[in-house]
A and B are shown apart, each in its own frame.
Chain A
Amino acid sequence: MSLFELPILSMSATSAAGGCASGGCASGGCASGGCSTARPDQASETSRREFLKTATTLTLGAMSLTLLPGAMAGDESSSLATAPGGGHPHAKKPMYGFLIDTTKCTGAGKCLTACRVENSVPEGQARTWVERYVHFKDGRVEVELVPEIGYAASGEPQPEAEDVLRAYFVPKLCNQCVDAPCNQVCPVHASIKSPEGIELVDTDRCIGCGYCVQACPYGIRYMNHETNVADKCNWCYHRVMRNEQPACVEACPTGARVFGRIDDPDSEISQRLATLPTSVLKQHLGTIPLTRYVGLTDEVT
């Protein structure tokens, strides 16, 4: 028996013998197909065409089902992306933003512990961290990581005051980019944008390929070595949905981290964004971060 004699490909033979796969013509009469009067080769041609038609429909149907979620996600993110001032004119969901005021951060480290506890972040990995920049008078710039116990309590040797031009702290967290590279590269829709514009990881879908980790220009994403899926700061989405502030914001003793609705002109963040000069990290990459900074210098990457 040849390949072409296998049952699935031998419908024409059945039709030619008087049977009809489409039914309704067991005795040889068929109103739709005209099987009874058709020559065997015509019947064969009709069946083949029907088979191909059905196969094509099923294939296209299956493809549209697999591609639809992505297309819908794309529409959603693009509508959010075009929102003036961060809010879509027709969007009912609130739009959020994050403001980091580097002039207020004292490197207390409270935010780091709060985040780790709130989100069960494994040791050695971080959803948020704080960098300390020291500009020396001789032109050197040194950067170091602030420990969770805080910069002051860490016992790190302090540079001589007369050598230092200026020093400041820069907290880092997810930038929640409007055009997020991490979202773009995820092959399985495990990186999703919430209706509020917050980038989330669907841990049940993530295959753990690490492509999003590579694509994030800010080093925010990591492969959680306890859950074995991608992980990242999500502005404590679970808290935000309960009308609470993100854990790091709540823990910050100086108000260096400000979170709130950017579609509400009366919110604190909107007020401060309207009055303070702000900037974003790695602006040249065109990711359009929703996390904005006060007092950012060129040295901060």
Chain B
Amino acid sequence: MEYHALHDAPFVFPNDAHPAWSIMIVIYPYITGMVAGAFVVSTMYHVFHREALRPVARLAVVASLCLGACATLPLLLHLHQPQRALNVVATPSPSSAMAGFGFIYSFYMLVLVVDVWLLFRPAIVERAHSAPGPWKNVYRVLALGVLEITPRAAEIDRKLVHALSVIGIPAACILHGYVGFLFGAIKANPWWSTALMPVIFLTSAVVSGIAVLTLLYLFLCRGSRMEPDEECMRSLSRLLWMFLVLAVTFEFGELLHVAYEREEEWHVIRELLVTKLRFSYLTLQVLIGALLPLLILPIPAFTRVASAPFRRACTGVAAVLVLVQVAAMRWNVVVGGQLFSKSFRGFVDYPVTWLGREGLLAAAVVLAMPMLLLWGAMKLLPVWPPNPESDSGVKA
């Protein structure tokens, strides 16, 4: 039997025994990716005028805002000195990739907040007049005191929404490409260190954004007894399929490159994939999360076989699988990259815990927070597009 140092005589550096980054650092790019992805869907309508996506355009931008509002939570939970978190923006080190987060995130959120405000201004102003009781005051505050919209103001708002959506596209790309760069720029870790990492993160972000939006749309339609728009579902399926093809190409293209070149770190990565990550990578990320949706999605995206509910179910199942794929990808990158020692001679375990600041329960709460926020936002703002005849100027 062939001798293999990684199995027969493993050796781990003493400080590598406990991974420094926890499940919270898995969730952070997961949520940030959805933020960027959902926004990209909204721009498909507001910038690229894909009319089929009109039913989800507003939902997309509000969902992006709610997800974005929670994007820093996992980071705060992870920091060992959370009370010093603002040092990242107060005394940033220009040489650090991480120091850019505060500025990039703040800029993106600013764009998003203004975008949402302008987009919903007609509705807010209308409700500031018509809402009952104390809600009237809530909408007056949301309207920032401007309680009428002239046709000229509506026209300016429309142009601003368009401009902000245009600005938001590179901002969203930078936000999530940057998250990928945080990992890709670590030359100490061969599982992370690749120039493709920002692109891999970005494409998977868009995929997760489309998937979460698709599921939200289906769920909300069901909740409000609405029939999901068939063309919208078809368009979402096509987008999901297209970006999934891109994401899979980059993810596995990178791995193929490393495998084919067989550089010195390949023996560790190969062992990592077939031992520690066998289930989360090969089963979840590749088979269930990528291959299955790639096979399922063409049905609702490019055919009209079977009934509309069946095709919707296909899209829904594929969206769930894609979310599993992206979650597995984040796990495999963040946790997987810490499962081998920098000695390249041994592996360690990641202790999954239920309780504690960085446990599974805390992670579940963090993931549920954006959905709670969205529920609240939907109580305040009309996320469904207004009827064309009542459209007051700003493109819904």
What residues of chain A have their CB less than 8 Å away from a CB belonging to chain B?
1-3, 5, 66-67, 69-71, 73-74, 124-126, 129, 131, 138-145, 172, 181, 183-189, 205-211, 213-223, 228-229, 285, 301
Q: Would B88 and A70 count as touching, CB distance under 8 A?
A: no
B345: A residues at CB distance < 8 A: 143, 301
Q: Would B14 and A188 count as touching, CB distance under 8 A?
A: no
Select which of B13, B85, B88, B146 is within 8 A of A3 by beta carbon: B146
Q: Would A189 and B91 count as touching, CB distance under 8 A?
A: yes
**17 interchain pairs (CB within 8 A)?**
A125-B14, A126-B14, A143-B9, A172-B13, A185-B98, A187-B101, A188-B92, A188-B99, A207-B88, A209-B78, A209-B98, A211-B182, A215-B188, A218-B342, A219-B14, A219-B342, A301-B342
How many B residues touch the partner, as a band? 35 or more
Select which of B84, B146, B182, B343 is within 8 A of A205 by beta carbon: B84
Q: Would A2 and B92 count as touching, CB distance under 8 A?
A: no
B3: A residues at CB distance < 8 A: 138-140
B78: A residues at CB distance < 8 A: 209-210
Q: Would A141 and B80 count as touching, CB distance under 8 A?
A: no
Q: Provided the pairs A69-B91, A131-B11 are in contact, do residues A215 and B81 lie with their beta carbons within 8 angstroms?
A: no
For window 56-103 of B, CB contacts with A under 8 Å fall at 75, 78-82, 84-85, 87-99, 101
Q: Provided the pairs A209-B78, A219-B341, A219-B342 are in contact, do residues A187 and B88 lie with their beta carbons within 8 angstroms?
A: yes
Q: Would A140 and B8 count as touching, CB distance under 8 A?
A: yes
A64 to B: closest C-beta gap in Å: 11
Q: Which 4 A-B pairs have the closest CB atoms?
A: A208-B80, A219-B13, A217-B188, A210-B20
Q: Would A228 and B80 count as touching, CB distance under 8 A?
A: yes
A188: B residues at CB distance < 8 A: 84, 87-88, 91-93, 96, 99
A140: B residues at CB distance < 8 A: 3, 5, 8-9
For window 186-213 of B, CB contacts with A under 8 Å fall at 186-189
Report Cα–Cα, A218/B81, bound state, in Å: 24
Select which of A66, A184, A216, A222 is within 8 A of B92 by beta carbon: A66
The answer to whether the Cβ of B386 comes within 8 Å of any Cβ in the partner chain is no
Q: Provided the pairs A186-B96, A219-B341 are in contact, do residues A285 and B9 lie with their beta carbons within 8 angstroms?
A: no
For window 125-178 of B, CB contacts with A under 8 Å fall at 144-146
A3: B residues at CB distance < 8 A: 144-146
Most buried by A among B16, B189, B345: B345
The answer to whether the Cβ of B275 comes within 8 Å of any Cβ in the partner chain is no
Report Cα–Cα, A172/B96, bound state, in Å: 26
Most buried by B among A125, A181, A214, A219: A214
A63 to B: closest C-beta gap in Å: 10
| Nearest B-chain residue to A77, judged by Cβ | B95
Select which of B90, B91, B146 is within 8 A of A2 by beta carbon: B146
B88: A residues at CB distance < 8 A: 187-188, 207
The answer to whether the Cβ of B344 comes within 8 Å of any Cβ in the partner chain is yes
Select which of B15, B21, B95, B186 is within 8 A of A219 by beta carbon: B15
